[in-house]
Chain A
Amino acid sequence: MSYWAVSRRIMAKDLVSEARTREMTNAMLFFALLVLVLFSFSFQPTSDEERRLAAGVLWIAFLFAGLSVLDRSFWRERVNDCLDALRLAPASASALFLGKCAANVLFLLLAEGILVPLFLVFFDLSFRGDVGQWLLVLVLGTWALVVNGTFFAAMTVNLRSRELMLPLLLLPISVPALIAVVEATATALLGEGAMGVWIRVLIAFDVIYTTLALLLFETVLEGT
């Protein structure tokens, strides 16, 4: 069984488990929708400045959804001590990590696929810039959140205050990526400026943190 097959199996296991319980999907969509609905009542973006603000609101909704996904990611391995079974298995720790990340990315992209159309309707917005490039930003930004979030979720899984620690660790380290995705989204909504520089920032962020996480995950898993 190859490295990638182990990753695929972990991903499939998480997807099947979630499809049967839907406990994470429901929580994730509920919180993210709440953010969008509340903000849509507080302002309707008519000026360019308000359109910029709306880009931030969208990513706050994604962050809420992401934190719900990431918090549950390793928590489900604690039930019946399945995390110990993963530690006992001869499979590569980084393959396990990639499988977890892939499942989390799919969950979050699913939520984003539902939230983006609702966001455009609630705020009466449309993309004036290059939608194709923005979709690339969406994928790169989602990976940026997930790769660090999955890593820290594993690190904090046994802490009593894990729900507090995860955002405390994840959000500061994600600031460069969050700035990039919000700026790129504002550019796409306004139709002014170029997204290229933000895409390069996201690619660099993703490469650096994915490499670090893959190298360090075995140590994290041993310490859980």
Chain B
Amino acid sequence: MSEALASNALVFDRVCKTFGETVALWHVSFALRPGTIVAVTGGNGAGKSTLLRVAAFLLKPTVGTVSVFGQTRPTPEVKRRIGFLGHASFLYEELSAEENLRFYAALYALGREADERIARVLGDVGAEEFRHRPVRTLSHGMRKKVSLARALLADPDLLLLDEPFSGLDAASVARTRALLLEWRRRGKAVLVTTHQTELLEGIADGELALERGRVRTWRAPAACESVMERA
């Protein structure tokens, strides 16, 4: 493992992902350092969600290498360091918000810390008041908050957030922005996809703009060494 790879939270090296003849990602290369927030932007079908799923090892790249904290395989140690918020909520409908978090706390082996962590993340996202309600009774915005709490639960070092602001009201958007800043201050690496680029203004350190799976522009964070090679 090279030192450059290990010092980055996430490195994409000429990554391509195709589904049959459909190109989702094409020679995407970039690096994300700890303590930075990078926005992934682009229109529908640009490849933003695929990029995040490849970064989380949920999809294997067709060509190229993805490395998370220097690891190119999803070992349990690496998985523990990744927090992922996808389009789907990853929540069980019949369980309450707290029961869902308790379940995931067990899978992430949080042990005695679980209670404290659950209380903290529910407070951070503003989901305390409906923590005992079954997920099936929650609105879209409430689910989003619980999903974000689930992603933050294990105190991950790399946060992959797919449209974290969608369905949130103004107060919740402000709270989420503050959370992102707090996570950056704590040295976490954050990759956020969004259509609402204005919501990341002033907090994103860099931007990766995608167009039909290709990198249109890569504005690297000042502290982040770019390893991008354009296709």
Contact = CB atoms under 8 A, between A and B. Distances in A.
B86 A81 contact: yes
B202 interface: no
A85 B93 contact: no
A148 to B, nearest CB: 25
Given A80-B93, A84-B58, A90 B86 contact: no
B103 A87 contact: no
Interface stretch (B15-23, B108-116, B120-128, B206-214): B108-116
A86 interface: yes
A82 B91 contact: yes
A202 B91 CA distance: 38
Interface stretch (B77-85, B181-189, B217-225): B77-85
A16 B90 contact: no
A88 B84 contact: yes
Nearest to B160: A88
A79 B89 CA distance: 9
13 contacts: A1-B111, A17-B95, A76-B92, A79-B93, A80-B89, A80-B90, A80-B92, A82-B91, A84-B58, A87-B58, A88-B57, A89-B107, A92-B76
Nearest to B106: A9
B109 A90 contact: yes
Contacts, number: 71
A74 to B, nearest CB: 13
A21 interface: yes
Interface string A70-81: 000000100111
A5 to B, nearest CB: 7
Nearest to A87: B58
A200 interface: no
B104 to A, nearest CB: 7
Interface in B142-172: 150
B229 interface: no
A209 to B, nearest CB: 25
A216 interface: no
A92 B80 CA distance: 12
A84 B95 contact: no
Contacts of A79: 92-93
Contacts of B57: 88
A91 interface: yes
Contacts of A5: 106
Nearest to A81: B88
Nearest to A5: B106
Given A84-B58, A88-B82, 4 more contacts: A81-B89, A84-B90, A88-B57, A90-B79
A6 interface: yes
Contact of B104 (A84, A87, A89): A89
Interface in A16-51: 16-17, 20-21
Given A6-B106, A9-B106, A16 B94 contact: yes
Interface string B49-85: 0000000111000000000000000001101101010
A13 interface: yes
Contacts of B92: 13, 17, 76, 79-80, 82
A82 B111 contact: no
Contacts of A82: 90-92
B107 A90 contact: yes
A20 B134 CA distance: 11
Contact of B91 (A21, A80, A86, A87): A80
A85 B100 CA distance: 11
| Top 7 A-B residue pairs of the complex, sorted by shortest distance between their CB atoms | A81-B88, A90-B76, A1-B109, A85-B90, A89-B107, A9-B106, A90-B79
Contact of B79 (A6, A16, A21, A88): A88
Nearest to A91: B107
A88 B58 contact: yes
A82 B87 CA distance: 12
Nearest to B75: A90
A1 B111 CA distance: 6
A118 to B, nearest CB: 29
A76 B92 CA distance: 8
Given A1-B109, A85-B104, A80 B79 contact: no
